[in-house]
């Protein structure tokens, strides 16, 4: 069995693809895989590190305003389709799966033209331009949010969820919090703004450090590399107790950490939501205002409307508001427990199995 997977640009497109490969490999250890991405995208690091064979094509996205660059984009797309056809013919996959990003547009389109069974996976509540383009050409479409169904042909969609969630659940609880100087008898809150950090979130954190230092819960903060040194300097000026507030530039072992938390404060990216709901974690979601179609707000509202998360907008984000929102949950065990239960109800803990089964069903 041969499976070709393509996705790129952001971790939200790449991690589900890697999780899918693992899920299929568990069922079929003999299966062969190939991941097609770009040289410049995060996939060029994440995929090889996961031990998955990797090839690249050159492609770029359309500019939303009139631009001469769009002529180059059209040229590169046509060229990348030719390159993708060559890769497909050489690898001879039984099925091709796209998980989003411009690179998957060329690869999945090429495969469909060659008559290879194809599927796409849409992580967000509002699909991007790539999956909208591919939806009429593929055989199956896996969804993570019910709201996304209105954008796709009804006879092709399946609610699979995001396979990243199942991968995180499998890790289980551990004593990892002790590595941050934390104890097990206090509630623990994680705040992060994505792998690169988020300026607005870090500004609020900096204003809230003194208040966190007085709370009876522990706060783990991932600042992002670019904000780390200034945050550490601020914490030193304020004499912040490291056993109450731990600062890190990046958290390599995020899945294990998530298994040992009481509350998460983060952006409303699809992967984060999949992980949070699969574990049944309460959360305060701060949607990024700088994403296409404001899809993070729509992602967040799918939980907020069911009392599975709280919402804090960038416009309302201050140090005081951040602390107040956290206190409201962490200091009220009953409210925290109800939100955890609602979050769990929104999750799809067997998403990896569902997506793998959908993909494998296409193999003749």
Known binding-site residues for UDP-N-acetyl-alpha-D-glucosamine equal 10-12, 124, 195, 296
Other Cβ atoms less than 10 A from the Cβ of 288: the count is 18
Other Cβ atoms less than 10 A from the Cβ of 357: the count is 15
- Shortest CA distance to 273 belongs to which of 41, 29, 15? 15
Residue 298 near residue 126, CB atoms below 8 Å: yes
Q: CA-CA distance, 241 to 273, in Å (whole number)?
A: 30
Q: How far is CA 229 from CA 91, 195, 197, 247, 249, in A?
A: 46, 16, 13, 10, 8
Q: CA-CA distance, 267 to 285, in Å (whole number)?
A: 6
Q: Is 248 helix (H, G, I), strand (E, B) or coil?
A: strand
> How many degrees, rounded to 5, is the angle at CA 129 between CA 126 and CA 133?
115
Q: How many residues does the chain have?
A: 364
Residue 280 near residue 344, CB atoms below 8 Å: yes
Name every residue whose Cβ is closer than 8 Å to that of residue 84 and which is 6 or more positions away in sequence.
36, 57, 106, 107, 109, 110, 111
Both structure tokens of 148: 């996304």
DSSP 289: S
| Backbone region of residue 36 per phi and psi (left: phi > 0; alpha: psi in -120 to 50; beta: other values) | beta
Q: Is 357 helix (H, G, I), strand (E, B) or coil?
A: helix
Q: How far is CA 211 from the centre of its chain?
A: 30
Q: Is 149 helix (H, G, I), strand (E, B) or coil?
A: helix
Residue ranges of the annotated binding site are 10-12, 124, 195, 296
| Helix, strand, coil percent content, the chain, rounded in steps of 5 | 50, 15, 35
């Amino acid at each position: 069995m041969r499976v070709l997977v393509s996705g790129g640009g952001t971790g939200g497109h790449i991690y589900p693809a890697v999780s899918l490969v693992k899920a299929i490999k568990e069922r079929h250890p003999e299966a062969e895989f190939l991941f097609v991405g770009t040289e410049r995208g995060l996939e060029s690091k994440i995929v090889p590190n996961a031990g998955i064979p990797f090839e690249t094509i050159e492609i770029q996205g359309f500019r939303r305003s009139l631009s001469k660059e769009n002529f180059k984009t059209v040229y590169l797309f046509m060229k990348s389709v030719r390159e993708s056809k060559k890769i497909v013919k050489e690898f001879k996959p039984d099925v091709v799966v796209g998980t989003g990003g411009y690179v998957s547009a060329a690869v999945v389109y090429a495969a469909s033209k060659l008559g290879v069974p194809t599927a796409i996976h849409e992580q967000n509540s509002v699909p991007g331009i790539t999956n909208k383009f591919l939806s009429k050409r593929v055989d199956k479409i896996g969804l993570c949010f019910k709201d996304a169904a209105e954008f796709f042909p009804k006879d092709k969609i399946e609610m699979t969820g995001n396979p990243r969630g199942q991968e995180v659940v499998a890790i289980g609880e551990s004593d990892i919090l002790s590595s941050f100087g934390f104890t097990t008898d206090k509630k623990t809150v994680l705040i992060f703004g994505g792998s690169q950090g988020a300026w607005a979130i870090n500004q609020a954190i900096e204003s809230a450090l003194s208040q966190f230092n007085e709370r009876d819960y522990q706060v783990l903060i991932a600042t992002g590399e670019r904000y780390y040194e200034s945050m550490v300097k601020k914490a030193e000026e304020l004499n912040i107790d490291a056993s109450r507030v731990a600062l890190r530039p990046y958290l390599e072992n995020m899945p294990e950490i998530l298994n040992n938390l009481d509350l998460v404060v983060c952006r409303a990216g699809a992967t984060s939501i999949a992980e949070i709901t699969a574990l049944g974690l309460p959360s305060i979601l701060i949607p990024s205002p700088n994403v296409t179609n404001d899809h993070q707000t729509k992602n967040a509202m799918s939980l907020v409307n069911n009392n599975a998360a709280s919402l804090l907008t960038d416009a309302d984000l201050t140090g005081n508001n951040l602390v107040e929102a956290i206190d409201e949950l962490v200091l009220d065990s009953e409210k925290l427990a109800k939100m955890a239960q609602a979050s769990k109800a929104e999750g799809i803990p067997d998403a990896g199995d569902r997506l793998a089964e959908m993909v494998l069903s296409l193999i003749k």
